[in-house]
Structure 1
């Protein structure tokens, strides 16, 4: 009988160990499940956020799909020439890859027109009459046309004039406006 009594406590201790191992395994599985659920929710929230910020995000465009053009009403502005009163009449069309972005641009049109007018009103006739001046203006209009939608583009011209500094190369944000086209360009 002494042998049977010695086996009973040993069996009870082994049962407690098995119970503890089962509880630990269940807790680990529950924690892994909760972590996976949180990651899935975070991912779905991020996707919802991307849809809400569609101007900054590009929709993939199938090859062969024509771009969408958003014409702006012509701009007529007094130029910043000091010696004589001059004005410019400029027609601008924005090229976008996605028709959804074109609708969003139309929603921001008053702010976009304001930004473009501010850029144009600081130009002189000498700035606008050269090919380089027109190219720089197109870059500035592109930058200012996406700013109301929360997209900040770096001005390549300013970066070229600035002293070279060692800095990390960061990827420039994608612009919903792929190109700025001039439909009319009159300086008088």
Structure 2
């Protein structure tokens, strides 16, 4: 009988070890599966967030076409004039509306800048690019002191004639 009791005591210890190993193994598998699900969930949601961010960044361009400008250029050596059509690309419709609201100021700034140029400055591609940069700077200045500057992205010449 003593042997049978000893055998009974040994068997429960083995089944407890197997049970403990099974529970630990199950928890380990569950932890690995949970970690993998979290990792791939974060990766895909991060990817979705990046795609949404890229979609937000890609906006339709907002252009504002200005009336034709005709100005006398500085003598070089003879009198010439410039006639040009300009389109302005702005950040959003609110910026376009702000520029429309202040159109007399916009036109004055552009006319003063254009009439300060000589034809020799404007004939080359580099001269036109420099003029574009100057126009962006002029149009970006706030209309009212202390206000935020306008968000002018680009200036495009749709016609450019010097005579």
Q: TM-score range by the shorter chain?
A: 0.5 to 0.7
User: Partner residue of 2:141?
Assistant: 147
3-state SS in 2 of match to 1:62: helix
- TM-score scaled by length of structure 1: 0.53
More helix by share: 2
User: Partner residue of 2:85?
Assistant: 91
Native 8 Å contact 2:140 2:149 kept in 1: no
3-state SS in 1 of match to 2:84: strand
Measure the CA separation in 1 of the matches of 2:86 and 2:145: 20
Which of 109, 125, 144 matches 2:103?
109
Q: Counterparts in 2 of 1:161-180, with a 5 A limit?
A: 176-180=151-155
User: Partner residue of 1:186?
Assistant: 161
Native 8 Å contact 1:94 1:180 kept in 2: yes
3-state SS in 1 of match to 2:64: strand
Q: Which runs of 4+ in 1 moved over 4 A?
A: none
Which of 64, 72, 75 matches 2:58?
64
Q: Which runs of 5+ in 1 are unaligned?
A: 1-60, 153-172
Query: Which structure would you say has the larger Rg?
Result: 2
Number of positions where the alignment pairs a residue of Structure 1 with one of Structure 2: 108
- TM-score scaled by length of structure 2: 0.61
Shift of 1:175: 5.0
User: Partner residue of 2:125?
Assistant: 131
Native 8 Å contact 1:111 1:148 kept in 2: no
Native 8 Å contact 2:139 2:150 kept in 1: no
3-state SS in 2 of match to 1:111: helix
Structural RMSD (CA): 2.2
User: Larger RCO: Structure 1 or Structure 2 (Cα < 8 Å, ≥ 6 residues apart)?
Assistant: 1
**Larger displacement relative to structure 2 (84-93 or 173-182):** 173-182
User: Partner residue of 1:74?
Assistant: 68
